[in-house]
């Protein structure tokens, strides 16, 4: 089985990944455009206009006025965070360092593995939707006939890192099945050698 330290490491990595995903959602630099000295940024909750080291931000009055790629990415990332929250609860119950379900070791082990799988799904969901958003921005930039071309900002990079850390942490949590197979497969060789030697003939 995986050691308690390996589970704690995976849980910690997943928490850091979730924090990075939350930070990316708060950031406004998801989509940016530049025109001369003016730069405009669009995030999930507000848009900002910067000029000469001064920025003015406004919250969206209605989510329906936000562009489609921002609406879809925001919704999927929220689903990913909800899945991560459930994974935290499930993993906490199943980890060896906690005292939940101590009387049912097999069920506790399976619970921790389910939490790790949920972390993996959450991280993959974050990576996929972020990649789709970046692809959409790049395509719209190539198809734009105006001088102002949209670009993706720094927030997608933070989101990618968050999704990767969450998925890697989930792999550590759910990898104990591999450790178990190794532990059960490594049988002591001495038990395989017959100990009953043929008795020698005595005169």
| pLDDT value at residue 84 | 93
Q: What is the pTM of this model?
A: 0.78
Structural domain spans, the chain = 4-30+63-185
Separation CA 95–CA 113 (nearest Å):
9
Give the H/E segment covering residue 119. helix 105-143
Here the tokens at position 120 are: 């993996």
36, 86, 142, 186 from 145: Cα distances, Å? 17, 45, 8, 65
Residues 6+ apart with CB under 8 A from 168: 10, 13, 17, 123
pLDDT of the chain along its 203 residues, tens only?
A: 446 777 788 889 999 999 999 999 998 888 888 776 777 888 888 888 877 677 787 887 777 777 888 889 999 999 999 999 999 998 888 777 666 665 666 676 777 788 889 999 999 999 999 999 999 888 877 766 566 677 888 899 999 999 999 999 988 888 755 445 444 444 444 444 455 555 445 44
Could you tell me which CATH number the domain at 4-30+63-185 has? 1.20.140.150
């Amino acid at each position: 089985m995986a050691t308690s330290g390996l589970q704690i490491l995976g849980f910690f990595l997943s928490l850091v990944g979730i924090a990075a995903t939350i930070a990316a959602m708060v950031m406004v630099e998801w989509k940016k455009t530049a025109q001369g000295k003016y730069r405009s940024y669009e995030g999930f909750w507000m848009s900002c206009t910067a000029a000469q080291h001064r920025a003015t931000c406004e919250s969206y009055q209605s989510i329906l006025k936000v562009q489609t790629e921002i609406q879809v990415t925001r919704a999927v990332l929220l689903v990913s965070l909800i899945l991560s929250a459930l994974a935290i609860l499930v993993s906490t119950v199943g980890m060896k360092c906690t005292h939940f379900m101590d009387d049912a070791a097999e069920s506790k082990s399976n619970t921790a593995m389910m939490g790790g799988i949920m972390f993996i799904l959450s991280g993959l969901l974050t990576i996929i939707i972020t990649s789709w958003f970046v692809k959409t921005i790049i395509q719209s930039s190539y198809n734009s006939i105006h001088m102002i071309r949209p670009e993706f900002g720094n927030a997608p990079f933070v989101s990618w890192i968050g999704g990767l850390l969450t998925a890697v942490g989930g792999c550590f949590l759910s990898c104990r099945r591999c450790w178990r197979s190794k532990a059960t497969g490594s049988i002591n060789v001495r038990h395989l050698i017959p100990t009953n030697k043929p008795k020698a003939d005595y005169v």
